[in-house]
Structure 1
């Protein structure tokens, strides 16, 4: 009697076949996509003192990963196409784990190289998860993209809450190493959820005609500009919002830091509500409160800074919903998984490249006048968000034409 090959015993891939275990895997992966980056912020003073580095070098521990998102997106997309999303994500989690170990090793070089590797590893998740959501949950993709975005923000909130207490007990190195446990858990559940599929999972629904290059399509550039406007504003405001509130409203540093957390916390609600609005109306109408809410923060701080809790709340909900809208549009503009992967990598590569400039640009513009003021940087952020509004509205309008 012959033994049936292992590949034949595996269940075949069926588009739209995602189940609860895959949802759990996506949630665990999403926890890894922002938490390891945010973990540095609460303990940056301890890191500087231990490593003996300047504020500029310490700042690289938060800006390097965003730059890695941009630079690693094209090669990561290529490797995902070669390996398939399932195996490629395991590679990404392995790189993330190696970077986490190296970041907590002794020395400045190890911290910087480890931080860059963390950014590269996260890039795989940034690209793979939306592709898998669109492929395996076609009828629930908007809702699951919202959950995915919300969980990334929840991971950031958890990190900001627990990193300092852990560091107080065992030091910053071990506090940052705790993320290795989350990465291992995600890898195990992801493997269980996807490891028994047969065939090439990379192109399960490939169209007969070749996939369209994203840079040849107007909608690709429009979505890139929209995501660039969001990323530039998000990272610029995240880095400087406590100082802005302190200078404009006289809030002490601790209060300003807690106040700016509204910008992060309310993002969970925006990520979950936006897909519901899109489902009941349309993606284009769901984008309207996203654009308006985000514009409210720099505009409101310029015109009525006393209402900062309102502006921070509106913009927080908008930035959570904006990520969901952009990648729902990427999915809607793609005929198959290959186009989804390539378009997503194209949008993220350009968007994160400009996003990495946000903190530097906002800080430099603040210091460009004497005495330093926030009018010019907030006006530039407002302009970037106008790019998000116009590009996003136009891109979603073109989805019906397939351009």
Structure 2
């Protein structure tokens, strides 16, 4: 009688540790390479176009993961799929650290980002499965860890390269992922054994194993999926447009220096920590996410209107309001689990939303940059971002219905 609760507690602890550790590795690929671009260029020539391709790789890889991850998880189960994703991340870190040319560097980066993208898609399902009664708190915890994982590499990449070289600075992150793999090995082995025993029992009864595979076209019938997808896409567009375009934009319209523009961009990353802490918790506790959607719309609108009408008057204030507007991103991470009834459906919805959101986000910097070049001014691009921020309000009545995707699909 006393062993069962103890066993459940140990399984819960193992699962929580596994989620925290994988979250710590998922933003390393995005943040570890760019500070070393100058040093890499000495060995592997990096043109502006080559750097641009590396910068576009994250949303493309994340969108592709949105298509592949739920399918592989249905075939292999959740835990083994996440384990394979982490092994791919280790391989990607090592390949790009050993890169002899740009092609090898790009391939290693894509493999690494694809593994991280699998984590993006499947972690909401893992949270729902491992901590179904603490979705808000657990999502907040792993979102905060992801933010820290994005902030640390830029701080230590150059000092590590100075101690050794840029290859060591890139390769060292593989060791961190290797540590994070260990609990997932245990979880994957346990899940494979449990699934085999379950299938053996089902087959012994002469009944086919049920398969939860909603078609992508069927998902489009879910208003709740659209309600989550719209703010996720708006947030992703703003984020990746900011990563790519804010420094040159601020230098031109606000008259700031190169170092100050970089510091203002870094500020957006640090603001992600408090947002990650409160966004998922509020999403779980509020009756509907309407206050978060309205707040994000007002904050984004204030930031872009300020940059459009008075960019030099209060540049720091516009950056703070822009950074706080991203609260809808951790909110959506929580909604993947909160608005579905099973881990399988959570991963399916997460994959569908992230596929579209990141695919659009990958195009946004290119289109907005082309708009700037075509008009000779940043004003039209900022006006487009200002208009897009209002799209959050479309999700208010949809998510206000408190619907569940499973119910809307009749599952």
TM range (shorter): 0.7 to 0.9
Segment drifting more, 272-281 vs 30-39: 272-281
- 2: CA distance, partners of 1:196 / 1:338: 18
Residue of structure 2 in register with 1:350 after alignment = 356
Aligned ranges 1:189-338 → 2 under 5 Å: 189-192=183-186, 195-197=189-191, 198-200=193-195, 212-213=214-215, 214-282=219-287, 283-305=289-311, 306-319=313-326, 321-338=327-344
Residue of structure 2 in register with 1:5 after alignment = none
Residue of structure 2 in register with 1:91 after alignment = 84
Paired residues of 1:96 and 1:119 also in contact (CA < 8 A): yes
Aligned ranges 1:4-403 → 2 under 5 Å: 19-104=12-97, 105-192=99-186, 195-197=189-191, 198-200=193-195, 212-213=214-215, 214-282=219-287, 283-305=289-311, 306-319=313-326, 321-369=327-375, 372-387=376-391, 389-400=392-403, 402-403=407-408
Paired residues of 2:135 and 2:338 also in contact (CA < 8 A): no
Q: Label 1:120 to 1:15 Cα distance change in 2 as closer, same or farther (>3 A).
A: farther
- 2: CA distance, partners of 1:383 / 1:297: 12
- 2: CA distance, partners of 1:182 / 1:344: 26
Paired residues of 1:43 and 1:163 also in contact (CA < 8 A): yes
- 2: CA distance, partners of 1:210 / 1:80: 11
Q: Label 1:275 to 1:218 Cα distance change in 2 as closer, same or farther (>3 A).
A: closer
Paired residues of 1:223 and 1:391 also in contact (CA < 8 A): no
Q: CA deviation at 1:279?
A: 4.8
Q: CA deviation at 1:254?
A: 0.8
How high is the TM-score relative to the length of structure 2?
0.86
Structure 1 unaligned regions, length at least 5: 1-10
- 2: CA distance, partners of 1:209 / 1:53: 47
- 2: CA distance, partners of 1:224 / 1:93: 26
Segment drifting more, 60-69 vs 344-353: 60-69
- 2: CA distance, partners of 1:133 / 1:312: 32
- 1: CA distance, partners of 2:308 / 2:68: 41
Q: CA deviation at 1:391?
A: 3.8
TM-superposition CA deviations, 1:186-225 (whole Å, max 9, x none): 1013334564455239x99xx9895644233232234323
Q: Label 1:265 to 1:292 Cα distance change in 2 as closer, same or farther (>3 A).
A: same
TM-superposition CA deviations, 1:370-399 (whole Å, max 9, x none): xx3211111122223222x13432442233
Q: CA deviation at 1:280?
A: 4.8
Q: CA RMSD in A?
A: 2.7
Paired residues of 2:299 and 2:324 also in contact (CA < 8 A): yes
From the two aligned structures, give the one with the greater helix fraction.
Answer: 2
- 1: CA distance, partners of 2:123 / 2:110: 20
Paired residues of 1:40 and 1:61 also in contact (CA < 8 A): no
TM-superposition CA deviations, 1:203-257 (whole Å, max 9, x none): 99xx989564423323223432332221111100122212222222211101110
Q: CA deviation at 1:276?
A: 3.9
Q: CA deviation at 1:141?
A: 0.6
Q: Label 1:308 to 1:200 Cα distance change in 2 as closer, same or farther (>3 A).
A: farther
Q: CA deviation at 1:353?
A: 0.5
Q: Label 1:26 to 1:209 Cα distance change in 2 as closer, same or farther (>3 A).
A: closer
Structure 2 unaligned regions, length at least 5: 200-208
Q: How many residues align?
A: 385
- 1: CA distance, partners of 2:381 / 2:365: 10
Paired residue secondary structure (1:19): helix
Q: Label 1:35 to 1:226 Cα distance change in 2 as closer, same or farther (>3 A).
A: same
